[in-house]
Amino acid sequence: MYDKSTLKKSEKLFYVSLPEIRKFVRDFHQEMWKGLCGKKSSLKMIHTYLRKPTGSEKGRFLALDLGGTHFRVMSLELKGKRKTGASSVKTFVLGKKHITGKGKELFDFIAGCIKIFMKEYKLDTGAEYSVGFTFSFPVKKKGIASGVLLRWTKDFSASGVEGKDVVELLNASLERKGLSGTKITALANDTVSTLTARSYEDPDCDVGVILGTGTNACYPEKDREIVNIEWGNFNKQRLTHYDRKLDKCSGNPGEQLFEKMVSGMYLGEVVRRLAKDLLPGINFPKYFKSEYASAIESDTSKGLRKTGSLLKKIGIKSSDYADRKLLKKACVIVSTRASRLAAAAIASVITKMDPRLGRRHTVAIDGSVYEKHPRFSCRVKNTLKEIFGGKARHIKLVLTKSASAKGAAIIAAA
């Protein structure tokens, strides 16, 4: 039996009020300004040397997308007039040895995947190809096709890569694999590629957001250059004791604090820690995936039967309806906070560009949390309405699936 007062305290602890959101926006703007001025800031505000596409780009281009354990290779045709044609995509899975081993082996594996893709789709491996590369980790850009990895995130730790130019490393691997004519000509992260992919078709698109395993965003500054915010590292928001304990046990304590409250890599763990306090009689497994939390929140079966089946699969053999109902509330509490924080961050970026919200803004969003969580997108939209009132109609949130690879191809064309 749980203590109702504990549940109420948890709901209050995790709730992000409107005054708190307004403070979040002010603090976010301050961090953006400091980052742009080169001052110490939790937001890196990285120059990308890239601009939005015109929509007139034409041709067939190759693209790569590395942002997690799944690596994608794509071939895409651009027809101009903001229209795209046929595309081919193949996904490869990175093993633990690739993401935690030697960097040379990681990039050799990637180059090998590219060669497999080219042979499968009958592309001449001896020909010359310009390739766009979406690399979804913090880099210091030196040019359109140059970027030094600042640090690994998302549990990657391949040695010999931090502090090195990832384009040079991959081009060297392509040479070793006999693909000397295949060269990386443009480097971007997944947010920039998402923005680029949508803005090729929609000129109102001026924000790219990732809400998946990790989280980040980008936008064009006044000189029209796209700026990579690296908002996952924002650290001015209020933390609970659950957040502090999770951060302390993470592989990067003190870093990516916003990401640890919003992204799919961590939401399940936040739920687990909260649920342990709400349901002390249940022995939760060491790992509680975010997809479990999403499935539980989606469950509308009688007696939350599906939740019971899921719990049995992960080692919790016995649970009654009251247990499942409370666990579902824990999922709602955590995901509601995440969606409201995501909305606050989106509002911060839009009002940086357009303080009075006087024009239309399309926000291109990619990522499993936004796409697959049953209530996340709706809560983001409702929170934006709460923040802006009637002016929220100027903001259009658009799910832009598989945008990282598509955007990289458009960047290569541009």
Q: How confident is the model at residue 335 (pLDDT cuts 50, 70, 90)?
A: very high
C-alpha dihedral (357, 360, 364, 369), degrees to nearest 10: 50
Q: What is the DSSP letter of 49?
A: S
144 three-state secondary structure: coil
pTM value > 0.95: no
CA 193 to chain centre: 12
Q: What is the pLDDT of residue 403?
A: 82
Residues of the chain with CATH 3.40.367.20: 4-40+208-399
Q: How confident is the model at residue 233 (pLDDT cuts 50, 70, 90)?
A: very high
How many alpha carbons lie under 13 Å from residue 250 in its C-beta half-sphere?
Answer: 24
Average pLDDT over residues 382-387: 98
User: Which CATH class name applies to 58-201+402-413?
Assistant: alpha beta
Contacts of 258 (CB under 8 A, 6+ apart): 215, 231, 232, 233, 234, 235, 237, 341, 345
How many CB atoms within 10 Å of residue 392? 18
pLDDT tens-place string over residues 155-177: 899 999 999 999 999 999 999 99
How many CB atoms within 10 Å of residue 82? 16
Average pLDDT over residues 89-110: 95
Q: How confident is the model at residue 3 (pLDDT cuts 50, 70, 90)?
A: low
Residue 165 annotated to the active site: no
Q: What is the pLDDT of residue 2?
A: 57
Average pLDDT over residues 388-412: 92
Q: How confident is the model at residue 102 (pLDDT cuts 50, 70, 90)?
A: very high
Identify whether the C-beta of residue 346 lies closer than 8 Å to the C-beta of residue 275. Answer: no
Average pLDDT, the chain: 94
Q: What is the pLDDT of residue 58?
A: 86
Contacts of 161 (CB under 8 A, 6+ apart): 103, 106, 149, 152, 169
Residues of the chain with CATH 3.30.420.40: 58-201+402-413
Q: Which CATH number describes the domain made up of 4-40+208-399?
A: 3.40.367.20
d(CA 217, CA 227): 9
Average pLDDT over residues 205-220: 95
**pLDDT higher than threshold 90 for residue 401:** no
**pLDDT higher than threshold 70 for residue 67:** yes
Average pLDDT over residues 392-411: 91
Identify whether the C-beta of residue 22 lies closer than 8 Å to the C-beta of residue 348. Answer: no
Backbone phi, psi, residue 259, to 5°: -60, -35
Q: What is the pLDDT of residue 402?
A: 74
Identify whether the C-beta of residue 90 lies closer than 8 Å to the C-beta of residue 97. Answer: no
The token pair that represents 128 in the structure block:
């010359």
**What is the residue type of 358?**
G
pLDDT tens-place string over residues 237-276: 999 999 999 999 998 899 999 999 999 999 999 999 999 9
pLDDT tens-place string over residues 300-317: 999 999 999 999 999 999
Identify whether the C-beta of residue 150 lies closer than 8 Å to the C-beta of residue 162. Answer: yes
**pLDDT higher than threshold 60 for residue 396:** yes
Contacts of 84 (CB under 8 A, 6+ apart): 76, 77, 78, 200, 201, 406
For the chain, the residue count is 414
Residue 154 annotated to the active site: yes
Average pLDDT over residues 213-219: 94
pLDDT tens-place string over residues 21-35: 999 999 999 999 999
Q: What is the pLDDT of residue 77?
A: 86
Contacts of 96 (CB under 8 A, 6+ apart): none
Helix residue ranges, H only, 42-189: 96-100, 103-120, 166-176
- Which one of the listed residues 154, 177, 260, 352 is annotated catalytic? 154
What is 315-347 written as a DSSP string?
A: T-----HHHHHHHHHHHHHHHHHHHHHHHHHHH
Average pLDDT over residues 183-200: 93
- Which one of the listed residues 190, 206, 243, 366 is annotated catalytic? 190
